């Protein structure tokens, strides 16, 4: 009721706090990262895991969903690496970097053969050399408390610093794969990507892991796209069916820069992706598309906060959710237009297809507008499969299951088609088809 | 661009002080001592000659209220209200209760005349008889347009804390309709009141509703018996006159099986420097096949150009579609109040029931509006429709906050929501916060929202055809709110249209 009441912390929250204290004690006592970690640890101890009373987490009560604090995963042994290597989705022509259980595995990675203009440094090496990109970590954090990000920062220990040099066009996509194998544990990854002025790059993140193990994966990334630069981003989340997946993306989009992102969410028992995007340069273009394919009792949450700070920017969001069985999809999208951001053009759409009788979709598209010369809109729909369309197809001799699969593919296809790299798009479509097949079987 | 600049400047120059209902009426009044405690509640209850159970009910609510905190989730900012610095009861002084209209203090009658609210039945030939020729003409024109032949409106006038007059009681009585003040209903029809009061908005619902339950002083009570179509529009006019008073009215409308009623509500207050509190509760109950149409033109004093004074409007309105095929429709035109916190809702319990919400919310000056609706789909094949039009000008903030949810058992539920915002000037804000929760696969929910300004293209198009800029803006704004205006009963549509022009004077014709 009142602010000075001390909330009761769950066992998981207490265990997390003591685990943070333990890792902090073992880490170096000073340096920029150490300060950042300590600050995050403090906010976590104060605020704990977010509950449904925290507006941004209204539909994903992490305190109720994250009952257990798992030990941090150790470095994988050779057998685990071999096992994990098989689980990495192949993206044709992509340069690959693989993390197994949160640890960078050089033997599975193409670190030695990076294309010109692309620099990838491990967090460890960066800390040793005092890489200037380290300053980017924590620089784009949202003002409001985000429990998942606080945990990620407090446990910060592994990750990548990626730089695309000014003016460089890196044709080959960079694929950062996270694979989990072995017994239940928690992993934390923190990456930074800086695409300098006028540069172009494609970044793919993929997440996969063992089935039947309730592991926890928490990743976060700062993305800075410079003036006139372009970053194409793809996120493929196919964690094991019992996993908890928490992702935080923070974006700063410069003048006339372009950022396009596509997220496919098909895995994890509970998943949440938060994207905090700021359009800080005039005339920037932002495109966020996503597809959620959820079944059984999966819970998938996608939350966006897009802030238009400078004038003349446009943003487009399109999220397609397919919810089978008792799955629950959540979409929260907030477009903020600051007073200076005149001539903003924002469009947000979330569409859900409810296949299961007990499926649930919660939509919360928000507009917060302080400038008058803008065109902003959002839409949200939820409904079952169109019976007329089904009838039309079945009347033409297409079996029911096949007709349904075709319609789902068409529904989701509207979002996938924004992936410009053809090879990457084909791979994503293949993953979706695999999901449909697995569901039919 | 020049045209836009001009529009913006005009809006900026809008003198909010031109609130034309800002006069006060000099009458003696009887007030309860300032502050709130159990004795005040006993005092109010005793003044109303209430039965014992009612006092208990109030005291229970008060005890509960003491444990509650003010909600802070709405996008409104206002200094903390000191609930001990208010008068909770103020009544125009009378030697005895009025036997007829002629016993009412002529000053009060004058007030209502100034407001254009006719209380004298014999004067009423048309719905609105105004001395304002222009308005009368507009009414006639409208009447001609649809071949409308005179209608009557029964009015319950509430002055500060008490109902001063209810008209057309006899005629309504013939049809079996009960229309009276709620304090009278408590004495005359205690069983009905006891059965339904608090059954839609429970005593413990929220901070303001609980406060209202403890201290409500008057309001209207309507009961439409089975199969009766109410022969005329019912209307309540609320007027806050006293200084430092809070108005806490309570309205309860019950439409029994197969009945129909259309109810209008209007509100004004004098201009004062301090903020006044209005915390009302409205409960609607629609039984099988019944329909309630509830329309509001809210024009409380919005405060002056610097944002000083004005009414805090914290209202809980909820309708319960209890029976099959029932329907509740809310229409609101919100132009007044310094702070508005209001979410007229529908609980769609009966199968095939329907809820509607049509809203125009206009904010200017330093007004803050946080309004919207809730459509809770519980029954099968329930449908709802939400049309919300927000217009923000000056330095105001205008928020639409709404919830549409389908329960697991609400098979075939259907909702369509459209909330559009129009911004005039770059110092104001327009926000949309919808919660759309579907727990049933066969439920179909559609939601769309847009925010924009009057586009240069639209203005150019109209002006190129010979309209002045002002006419063009008026035309566009009228087009923008048209969907909602059409839902208002004739008597209110004219008033509402005028109000919109006054509220946005300078930018709209």
**Closest chain A residue by Cα to residue B452:** A375
Of A373, A375, A380, the CB nearest to B447: A380
Q: What is the mean pLDDT of the segment spanning A83-103?
A: 92
Confidence category of residue A101, pLDDT binned at 50, 70, 90: very high
- Tokens encoding B434: 């919808």
Verify whether the Cβ–Cβ distance A370 to B444 is below 8 Å.
Answer: no
Give the single-character DSSP code of B257.
T
Distance from CA of B385 to the nearest CA of A (A): 14
Confidence category of residue B116, pLDDT binned at 50, 70, 90: low
Strand partners, B438: A361, B406
Of A55, A365, A372, the CB nearest to B424: A372
Q: Give Cβ neighbours of residue B23 (< 8 Å, ≥ 6 apart).
A: B111, B114, B270
What residues of chain B lie within 8 A of the CB of A356, using their CB?
441
Of A356, A367, A383, the CB nearest to B445: A383
A304 near B CB under 8 A: no
Verify whether the Cβ–Cβ distance B426 to A360 is below 8 Å.
Answer: no
Look at residue B336 in the predicted model and tell me its pLDDT.
81
Of A354, A376, A383, the CB nearest to B451: A376
Q: Give Cβ neighbours of residue A268 (< 8 Å, ≥ 6 apart).
A: A217, A237, A239, A240, A241, A243, A244, A245, A298, A300
B502 near A CB under 8 A: no
Q: With pLDDT > 70 as the criterion, what percentage of chain B qualifies? A: 74
What residues of chain B lie within 8 A of the CB of A2, using their CB?
69
With a cut of 50, say whether residue B370 has pLDDT above it: yes
Residue A116 CB neighbours (<10 A): 8
Confidence category of residue B11, pLDDT binned at 50, 70, 90: very low
Burial of B159-198, coded b for 16+ CB within 10 Å and e otherwise, reads: bbbbbbbbbbbeebeeeebbbbbbbbbbeeeeebbeebbb
Distance from CA of A310 to the nearest CA of B (A): 14
Pairing, β A299-308 against β A216-225: unpaired
With a cut of 60, say whether residue B26 has pLDDT above it: yes
Of B426, B432, B435, the CB nearest to A371: B426
The whole-angstrom separation of Cα A179 and Cα B198 is 57
**Dihedrals phi, psi of B368, to nearest 5 degrees:** -130, 125
pLDDT digits (tens, 9 = 90+) for A31-58: 778 889 999 999 999 999 999 888 899 9
Cα Dmax for chain B? 69
Counting one residue from A and one from B, how many pairs have CB atoms under 8 Å apart? 122
Pairing, β B153-159 against β B162-166: antiparallel
Verify whether the Cβ–Cβ distance A374 to B447 is below 8 Å.
Answer: no
Give the single-character DSSP code of A418.
T
The whole-angstrom separation of Cα B239 and Cα B156 is 11
Alpha helices in A51-136 (DSSP H): 62-65, 78-86, 123-129
Verify whether the Cβ–Cβ distance A362 to B437 is below 8 Å.
Answer: yes
Verify whether the Cβ–Cβ distance B69 to A375 is below 8 Å.
Answer: no
- End-to-end CA distance of chain A: give it in Å, rounded: 50
Nearest to A274 by CA among A45, A55, A7, A15: A55
Give CA A335 to chain center in angstroms. 18
Q: At B271, is the secondary structure helix, strand, or coil?
A: coil
DSSP A209-255: E-TT---EEEEEEEEEE-TT-EEEEEEEEE--TT-EEEEEEEEEE-T
The rounded mean pLDDT for chain B is 79
pLDDT digits (tens, 9 = 90+) for A109-159: 999 889 999 999 999 899 889 899 999 999 999 999 999 999 999 999 899
More confident residue, B92 or A362: A362
Location of structure tokens 């989009």: A253
Verify whether the Cβ–Cβ distance B435 to A364 is below 8 Å.
Answer: yes
With a cut of 80, say whether residue A67 has pLDDT above it: yes
Backbone φ/ψ region at A31: left (φ over 0), alpha (ψ -120 to 50), beta? left
Q: What is the mean pLDDT of the segment spanning A367-374?
A: 89
Distance from CA of B408 to the nearest CA of A (A): 7
DSSP B408-432: TT-TT-EEEEEEEEEE-SSS-EEEE
Confidence category of residue B371, pLDDT binned at 50, 70, 90: very high
Look at residue B97 in the predicted model and tell me its pLDDT.
45
What is the pTM assigned to this prediction?
0.86
B428 near A CB under 8 A: yes
A84 near B CB under 8 A: no
Q: At B27, is the secondary structure helix, strand, or coil?
A: coil
Look at residue A410 in the predicted model and tell me its pLDDT.
94
Confidence category of residue A254, pLDDT binned at 50, 70, 90: very high
Q: Give the CA distances from residue A202 to residues A174, A176, A194, A306, in Å, rounded to whole numbers and listed in that order.
A: 6, 11, 12, 21
**Closest chain A residue by Cα to residue B434:** A364
Q: What is the mean pLDDT of the segment spanning B417-445?
A: 90
Distance from CA of B301 to the nearest CA of A (A): 25
- CB of B424 closer than 8 Å to CB of B8: yes
Of B4, B427, B452, the CB nearest to A374: B452
Query: For an interface test with B, which of A369, A371, A388 has the most B Cβ atoms less than 10 Å from its Cβ?
Result: A369
**Closest chain B residue by Cα to residue A360:** B439
With a cut of 90, say whether residue B117 has pLDDT above it: no
Query: For an interface test with B, which of A372, A378, A385, A404 has the most B Cβ atoms less than 10 Å from its Cβ?
Result: A372
Look at residue B260 in the predicted model and tell me its pLDDT.
95
Give the single-character DSSP code of A163.
E
Verify whether the Cβ–Cβ distance B437 to A352 is below 8 Å.
Answer: no
Look at residue B7 in the predicted model and tell me its pLDDT.
43
pLDDT digits (tens, 9 = 90+) for A372-394: 889 999 999 999 999 999 999 99
B441 near A CB under 8 A: yes
Q: Give the CA distances from residue A118 to residues A233, A415, B230, in Å, rounded to whole numbers and listed in that order.
A: 15, 28, 77
The rounded mean pLDDT for chain A is 93
- CB of A118 closer than 8 Å to CB of A209: no
Location of structure tokens 């600051």: A338
The angle that helices A147-154 and A11-26 make with each other, rounded to 10 degrees, is: 30
Of A356, A366, A370, the CB nearest to B429: A370
How large is the ipTM? 0.86
What residues of chain B lie within 8 A of the CB of A367, using their CB?
421, 430-432, 449, 451
Verify whether the Cβ–Cβ distance B451 to A367 is below 8 Å.
Answer: yes
A325 near B CB under 8 A: no
Alpha helices in A120-229 (DSSP H): 123-129, 147-154
pLDDT digits (tens, 9 = 90+) for A312-365: 999 999 999 999 999 999 999 999 999 999 999 999 999 999 999 899 999 999
Most confidently modeled range among A191-200, B123-132, B264-273: A191-200
- Tokens encoding B263: 């109810």
- Tokens encoding B66: 């003491």
- CB of A158 closer than 8 Å to CB of A124: yes
- Tokens encoding A340: 């200076």
Location of structure tokens 């007004």: B367
Question: Residues 38 to 67 of A: which have CB under 8 A from any B CB?
Answer: 55
More confident residue, A27 or B167: A27
With a cut of 80, say whether residue B507 has pLDDT above it: no
Nearest to B394 by CA among B350, B357, B427: B427
The whole-angstrom separation of Cα A424 and Cα B246 is 64
Backbone φ/ψ region at B337: left (φ over 0), alpha (ψ -120 to 50), beta? left
**Closest chain B residue by Cα to residue A363:** B436
With a cut of 50, say whether residue A173 has pLDDT above it: yes
With a cut of 70, say whether residue A2 has pLDDT above it: no
Look at residue A435 in the predicted model and tell me its pLDDT.
93
- Of A414-428, B13-27, B64-78, B411-425, the one with minimum mean pLDDT is B13-27
Distance from CA of B69 to the nearest CA of A (A): 7
**Closest chain A residue by Cα to residue B4:** A373
Q: What is the mean pLDDT of the segment spanning A200-228?
A: 96
Look at residue B76 in the predicted model and tell me its pLDDT.
85
Confidence category of residue B393, pLDDT binned at 50, 70, 90: confident
Q: What is the mean pLDDT of the segment spanning A435-439?
A: 89
A324 near B CB under 8 A: no
Verify whether the Cβ–Cβ distance A369 to B435 is below 8 Å.
Answer: no
Verify whether the Cβ–Cβ distance A368 to B431 is below 8 Å.
Answer: yes
Look at residue B241 in the predicted model and tell me its pLDDT.
65
- End-to-end CA distance of chain B: give it in Å, rounded: 19
Q: Give Cβ neighbours of residue B48 (< 8 Å, ≥ 6 apart).
A: B183, B186, B217, B218
Give the single-character DSSP code of B186.
H
B274 near A CB under 8 A: no
Question: Residues 354 to 383 of A: which have CB under 8 A from any B CB?
Answer: 354-383
Confidence category of residue A433, pLDDT binned at 50, 70, 90: very high
Confidence category of residue B265, pLDDT binned at 50, 70, 90: confident
With a cut of 70, say whether residue A98 has pLDDT above it: yes
Give CA A93 to chain center in angstroms. 23
Backbone φ/ψ region at B198: left (φ over 0), alpha (ψ -120 to 50), beta? left
Task: Tell me the CB-side half-sphere exposure of residue A109, using CA atoms within 13 A.
Answer: 21
Query: For an interface test with B, which of A351, A367, A371, A376 has the most B Cβ atoms less than 10 Å from its Cβ?
Result: A367
- Of A78-87, B168-177, B291-300, B367-376, the one with minimum mean pLDDT is B168-177
Look at residue B491 in the predicted model and tell me its pLDDT.
65
pLDDT digits (tens, 9 = 90+) for A280-311: 999 999 999 999 999 999 999 999 999 999 99
Nearest to A409 by CA among A391, A385, A441, A380: A385
The whole-angstrom separation of Cα B162 and Cα B216 is 10
More confident residue, B149 or A279: A279
Helix (H) or strand (E) holding B337: none
In this structure, chain B runs to a length of: 509
Torsion sign across C-alpha atoms A420, A422, A426, A427: negative
Confidence category of residue B119, pLDDT binned at 50, 70, 90: low
Location of structure tokens 């890196």: A170
Of B4, B428, B444, the CB nearest to A383: B444
Look at residue A294 in the predicted model and tell me its pLDDT.
96
- Tokens encoding A385: 């499969």
What residues of chain A lie within 8 A of the CB of B426, using their CB?
339, 342, 370-373
pLDDT digits (tens, 9 = 90+) for B475-506: 888 888 888 888 877 766 777 777 776 666 55
The whole-angstrom separation of Cα A216 and Cα B246 is 54
Give CA B26 to chain center in angstroms. 26
Confidence category of residue B81, pLDDT binned at 50, 70, 90: confident
pLDDT digits (tens, 9 = 90+) for B284-342: 999 999 999 999 888 777 877 777 888 888 999 999 999 999 999 999 988 888 899 99
Look at residue B140 in the predicted model and tell me its pLDDT.
43
Verify whether the Cβ–Cβ distance B445 to A342 is below 8 Å.
Answer: no
With a cut of 70, say whether residue B205 has pLDDT above it: yes
What residues of chain A lie within 8 A of the CB of B73, using their CB?
55
């Amino acid at each position: 009721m009142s602010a000075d009441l001390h909330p009761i912390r769950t066992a998981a929250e207490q265990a997390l706090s003591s685990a943070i204290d333990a890792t902090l004690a073992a880490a170096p006592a000073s340096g920029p990262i150490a300060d950042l970690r300590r600050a995050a640890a403090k906010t976590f101890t104060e605020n704990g895991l977010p509950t449904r009373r925290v507006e941004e987490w209204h539909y994903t009560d992490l305190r109720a969903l994250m009952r257990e604090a798992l030990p941090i995963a150790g470095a994988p042994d050779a057998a685990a690496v071999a096992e994990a290597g098989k689980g990495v989705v192949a993206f044709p022509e992509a340069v690959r970097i693989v993390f197994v259980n949160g640890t960078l595995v050089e033997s599975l990675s193409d670190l030695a053969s990076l294309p010109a203009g692309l620099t990838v440094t491990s967090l460890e090496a960066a800390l040793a050399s005092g890489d200037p990109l380290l300053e980017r970590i924590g620089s784009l954090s949202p003002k409001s408390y985000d429990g998942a990000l606080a945990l990620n920062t407090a446990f910060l220990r592994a990750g990548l610093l990626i730089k695309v040099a000014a003016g460089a066009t890196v044709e080959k996509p960079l694929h950062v794969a996270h694979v989990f194998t072995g017994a239940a544990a928690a992993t934390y990854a923190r990456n930074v990507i800086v695409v300098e002025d006028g540069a172009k790059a494609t970044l793919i993140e993929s997440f996969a892991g063992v089935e039947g193990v309730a592991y926890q994966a928490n990743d976060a990334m700062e993305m800075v796209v410079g003036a006139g630069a372009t970053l194409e981003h793809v996120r493929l989340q196919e964690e094991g069916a019992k996993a908890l997946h928490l992702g935080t993306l923070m974006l700063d989009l410069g003048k006339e820069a372009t950022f396009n992102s596509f997220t496919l969410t098909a895995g994890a028992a509970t998943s949440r992706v938060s994207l905090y995007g700021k359009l800080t340069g005039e005339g920037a273009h932002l495109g966020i598309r996503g597809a959620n394919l959820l079944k059984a009792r999966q819970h998938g949450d996608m939350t966006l906060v897009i802030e238009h700070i400078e004038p003349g920017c446009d943003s487009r969001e399109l999220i397609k959710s397919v919810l089978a069985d008792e799955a629950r999809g959540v979409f929260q999208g907030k477009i903020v237009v600051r007073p200076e951001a005149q001539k903003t053009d924002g469009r947000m759409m979330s569409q859900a297809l409810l296949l299961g009788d007990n499926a649930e979709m919660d939509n919360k598209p928000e507009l917060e507008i302080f400038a008058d010369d803008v065109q902003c809109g959002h839409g949200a729909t939820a409904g079952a499969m169109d019976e007329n369309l089904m009838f039309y197809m079945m009347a033409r001799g297409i079996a029911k299951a096949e007709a349904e699969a075709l319609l789902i593919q068409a529904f989701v296809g509207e979002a996938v088609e924004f992936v410009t790299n053809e090879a990457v798009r084909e791979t994503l479509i293949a993953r979706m088809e695999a999901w449909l097949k697995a569901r039919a079987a | 661009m020049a045209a836009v600049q001009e529009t913006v400047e005009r809006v900026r120059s809008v003198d909010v002080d031109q609130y034309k209902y800002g006069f006060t009426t000099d009458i003696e009044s009887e007030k309860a001592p300032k502050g709130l405690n159990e004795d005040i509640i006993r005092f109010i209850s005793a003044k109303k000659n209430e039965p014992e159970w009612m006092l208990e009910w109030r005291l229970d609510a008060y005890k509960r209220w003491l444990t509650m905190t003010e909600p802070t989730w709405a996008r409104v900012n206002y200094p903390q209200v000191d609930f001990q610095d208010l008068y909770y009861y103020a009544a125009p002084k009378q030697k005895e209760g009025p036997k007829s209209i002629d016993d009412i203090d002529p000053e009060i009658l004058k007030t209502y005349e100034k407001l254009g609210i006719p209380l004298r039945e014999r004067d009423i030939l048309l719905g609105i008889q105004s001395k304002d020729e222009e308005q009368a003409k507009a009414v006639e024109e409208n009447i001609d347009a649809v071949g409308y032949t005179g209608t009557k409106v029964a009015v319950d006038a509430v002055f500060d804390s008490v109902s001063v007059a209810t008209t057309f009681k006899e005629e309504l009585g013939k049809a079996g309709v009960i229309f009276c003040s709620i304090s009278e209903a408590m004495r005359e029809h205690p069983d009905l009141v006891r059965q339904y009061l608090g059954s839609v908005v429970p005593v413990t619902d929220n901070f303001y509703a609980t406060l209202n339950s403890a201290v409500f002083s008057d309001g209207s009570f309507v009961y439409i018996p089975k199969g009766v179509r109410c022969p005329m529009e019912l209307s309540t006019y609320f007027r806050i006159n006293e200084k430092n008073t809070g108005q806490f009215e309570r309205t309860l409308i019950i439409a029994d099986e197969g009945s129909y009623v259309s109810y209008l509500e209007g509100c004004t207050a004098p201009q004062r420097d301090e903020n006044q509190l209005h915390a009302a509760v409205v409960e609607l109950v629609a039984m099988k096949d019944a329909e309630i149409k509830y329309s509001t033109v809210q024009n409380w004093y919005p405060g002056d150009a610097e944002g000083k004074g004005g009414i805090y409007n914290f209202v809980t309105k909820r309708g319960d579609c209890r029976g099959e095929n029932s329907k509740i429709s809310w229409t609101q035109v919100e132009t007044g109040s310094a702070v508005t916190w209001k979410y007229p809702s529908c609980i769609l319990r009966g199968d095939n029931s329907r809820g509607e919400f049509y809203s125009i919310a206009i904010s200017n000056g330093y007004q803050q509006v946080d309004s919207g609706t809730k459509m809770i789909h519980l029954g099968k094949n329930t449908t709802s429709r939400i049309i919300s039009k927000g217009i923000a000008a000056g330095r105001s903030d205008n928020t639409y906050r709404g919830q549409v949810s389908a329960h697991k058992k609400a098979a075939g539920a259907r909702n369509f929501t459209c909330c559009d915002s129009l911004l005039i000037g770059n110092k104001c804000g327009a926000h949309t916060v919808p919660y759309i929760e579907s727990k049933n696969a066969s439920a179909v929910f559609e939601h769309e929202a847009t925010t924009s300004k009057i586009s240069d293209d639209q203005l150019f198009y109209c002006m190129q055809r010979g309209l002045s800029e002002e006419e063009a803006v008026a035309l566009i704004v009228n087009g923008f709110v048209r969907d909602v205006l059409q839902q208002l009963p004739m008597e209110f549509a004219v008033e509402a249209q005028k109000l919109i022009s006054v509220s946005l004077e300078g930018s709209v014709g």
